[in-house]
Structure 1
Amino acid sequence: MQNKRVHLVLLIIVIIVFIWSAIKPVSYYSWVLEVSPAVASLAVFLFLYKKFRLTTLSYTIIAFVTILMFIGGHYIYSNVPLFDWLKDTWDLKRNHYDRFGHFMKGMIAIVIREILLRKTLLYKGGWLNGIVISMVLAIAALYEIVEWLFAMLAKGGRVSKDFLGTQGDIWDTQWDMFLSFAGSIIALLLLTKMHDQLVKREIGLNPNKMKKEEQE
């Protein structure tokens, strides 16, 4: 019951940020492009909540990453005020919110890890971690491909430029994928032990030996 309350609070916070994000964003076209993946993912997890409930850690990560995307959609990633302030204060060459966002998106490694532990024959260990990291990289690459395809179809323009968010860096795509990769490794290093404990306590499963019925 307590876990459900925490999950409800997380959902309410996400909804509040979503509503705020939708109120007078810098560009509604850019806003739709940026928040759509987060809204679609959130809808899937809500639909599966009763049938396949995740741990509180996974839902916290989902909520946090979703909020980051809503903030980026509202301001446009390259114009988030706090990171503009950091840019001016530290004399940086660019607004780094997008890179911060891609790094934090690497935390979805924990969500992917939980799904694989519970729905495949994989146990905790090197193979599991390797596959998780590879999947994070695949998602990061897919996102960059979507951005590229949109830019090609839109044939330039302000919205395309804002959505790509390269800020003049020819290596921006590579940086984004690398930071998601690095974020996934750090998330696994720091959060695996906590995740295993929550899987045992909240789901009732041993990550070293999954119950047969959970794999069917």
Structure 2
Amino acid sequence: MHTSKHSKIHLTLLAIVSIVFIWSVIKPAAYLDWLAEVSPAVIILCIVITTYNKFRFTTFSYCIIALLSILTFIGGHYTYSEVPLFNWIKEEFDLHRNNYDRFGHFLKGLSAIVVREILLAFTPLTKGAWLSGITISIVLAIAALYEIIEWLSTKISKGGKTSKDFLGMQGDKWDAQWDMSLAFVGAVLTLVIFSKIHDKLLKNK
């Protein structure tokens, strides 16, 4: 019964993510930009789905994966610099930029829980400082890799509109550093706030 209940929640999350994905592919701002933005999330989702019967994450981790996927699909549909809600916030508070990408990179720090769970399941690491340090390092490495991919996209397309939309700097030369810093802060806060809760969920997995 316990497993069945969790499976229903997981299927519900998958259904919600699938609906948002289908919506995102309908008349996005630019199909090439959409493809570049959503591809990493689609790849991760495919891996999670195909390995579901072999390895189950906690429902908490699945919620995080679903949330981050939805954020990516929304960003891919509008481009990160043109998400309507954050355009409204920009105008309402007289900000210099649309901060959806900053918000998204901060929330990507939540992936620390997923990384932590993988490390506990497949490495000799145990709960403690080493686990937290390596988890944060992996989140930072992923954030840095993403920034490198964004940079390479501008070189391959020679600075075309699609690559500029994908890069989403909005005139800020420190955009990559901001993105990585926010992912770092998000990961640290995630581990501080949720590690004990995560440990309890792992016991009841």
TM range (shorter): over 0.9
CA deviation map 1:159-201 (0-9, x unaligned) = 0110000000000000000000011011111111111111000
Matched, 1:138 2:169: no
Match of residue 130 from structure 2? 127
2:92 pairs, out of 89, 93, 104, with 89
The one-letter amino acid paired with 1:72 is G
Distance 1:171 1:187 in 2: 24
1:158 pairs, out of 161, 167, 174, with 161
Identity %, equivalent residues: 60
Matched, 1:18 2:11: no
What TM-score do the two structures reach when normalised by structure 2? 0.98
Deviating above 3 A after TM superposition, structure 1's stretches of 4 or more consecutive aligned residues are: none
Distance 1:12 1:22 in 2: 16
Distance 2:119 2:41 in 1: 21
Matched, 1:72 2:75: yes
The one-letter amino acid paired with 1:134 is S
Match of residue 213 from structure 1? none
Q: Structure 1, unaligned stretches of length 5 or more? A: 203-216
Distance 1:51 1:88 in 2: 48
Q: C-alpha displacement at 1:150, in angstroms?
A: 1.0
Distance 2:129 2:187 in 1: 14
Matched, 1:98 2:96: no
The one-letter amino acid paired with 2:53 is K
Distance 1:112 1:160 in 2: 29
Q: Structure 2, unaligned stretches of length 5 or more? A: none
Matched, 1:31 2:34: yes
Distance 1:199 1:186 in 2: 19
Match of residue 208 from structure 1? none
Distance 1:19 1:44 in 2: 19
1:176 pairs, out of 154, 176, 179, with 179
Distance 1:98 1:194 in 2: 28
CA deviation map 1:45-69 (0-9, x unaligned) = 1111000110000000000000000
What TM-score do the two structures reach when normalised by structure 1? 0.93
2:151 pairs, out of 143, 148, 152, with 148
CA RMSD of aligned residues (A): 0.5
3-state DSSP class of the match of 1:106? Answer: helix
Match of residue 10 from structure 2? 7
